[in-house]
Amino acid sequence: MSQPTHQTGFGFARGEKKIHRYDNLVVKQPKPMQVLLKVEAAGLCSSDLHMLWGQDKRIPDKFIMGHEIAGQIVSVGSALVNHPLYKVGGRFAVTIADSCGSCKGCRSGNDNMCSGKMGSAYGLSQDGGFQQYLIVSNLRTLLPIPKKVSYVEAAVASDAVLTPYAAIQKAKPFLNPGDRVLLFGLGGLGANALQILKSYGLYVVACDLKPEAKELAQKFGADEFYNDINTSKHRPETFQACFDFVGFQPTFDGCQKYVSEKGVIVIVGLGRARLQMKNYELARREVKVFFSFGGTSQQQIECMQWVAEGKVKPVANIVPIKELPAYFDKLEKGQIQGRIVFDPAKL
């Protein structure tokens, strides 16, 4: 079946603080070592909003956004016609980082911290998944989707599952089954974090300002839920680990207040560009503080396997991509629960 010659995409335009629609974009055909991916699902992330707000001068003046991508190969370049993996019909998730594979970060297994291509990333600095078709030149960024995992689940797993999974691995060496863990934020990442934490046998206390988050917390096994942890019976300095999936000063202050001696704080949310730490208090208790951003391609493969095995059930709502601008507005106003995933075919 022949592919369309033109498509519609949504993305970044310098000087605009809202998503821009691009019509009549040319659907490129793959060169010898490229594949053409038909985007079947593309997730919406708070990082998309941060990019529009920040207007970082280091990124191009315009490009198609969308960094949670899953799809199928519909065409391959001439050098890949007989390749055993990159076949027409193959189902793949895309890593966010367009990693080089040869720098220090990549060779040490941390390809999400690639320095060889200076932070190049799908949907964040180059064309991503908010369109119907995507040319993929870097084949190492394609990860096969397990049979039991849908395109929507694979797209969500590429960030909304991967990011909390990678963050939790940083704290895991310091945790034992039964330990008490405090979790701030049950949004697109936090809901998946809760499921991962419970799979390790931890006692999880979840907090979120939204009253409706209580139902979500109960659904995924939170042992307790509060809109405000300060109204609970828990005393300060009694949690072995505190995870902040919000990244505002009040939630970070909550982590600093409630983490125990020799405990762990993991900051994942990017709500604010700067956070203040209480030097003496954290030093006195010898608290370990980790910052975490994304995850590796190997961890992304592990996340898809967790989804395949039913250990994590991503919270996702599928909507037509034509509604993308409206959902950006809802995300900015805090009106979205779980993850929004766009169907690029529905314009």
Which tens digits make up the pLDDT trace of 224-272? 999 999 999 999 999 999 999 999 999 999 999 999 999 999 999 999 9
**Contact yes or no for 290/267 (Cβ under 8 A):** yes
pLDDT digits (tens, 9 = 90+) for 65-95: 999 999 999 999 999 999 999 999 999 999 9
The domain spans of the chain are 6-144+315-343, 162-291
Q: Is the pLDDT of residue 119 over 80?
A: no
**Contact yes or no for 64/10 (Cβ under 8 A):** yes
CATH of 6-144+315-343, one of 3.50.50.60, 3.20.20.150, 1.10.10.10, 3.90.180.10: 3.90.180.10
- Degrees (nearest 5) of the Cα angle 103, 130, 303? 55
Strand partners, 315: none
In this structure, the number of other CB atoms found within 10 A of the CB of residue 10 comes to: 24
* Tokens representing residue 63 in the block: 């490009």
Q: What is the dihedral of CA 147, 319, 96, 159, to 10 degrees?
A: -80
Q: Is the pLDDT of residue 112 over 70?
A: yes
Q: What is the CATH number of domain 162-291?
A: 3.40.50.720
Rounded alpha-carbon distances, angstroms, from residue 229 to 129, 279, 284: 38, 22, 23
* Amino acid symbol at 180: R
List strands edge to edge, sheet with 20-26: 20-26, 6-13, 62-64
- pLDDT band at 340; cut points 50, 70, 90: very high
Q: Is the pLDDT of residue 1 over 60?
A: no
Ranked by mean pLDDT, the top range of 13-22, 104-113, 248-257 is: 248-257
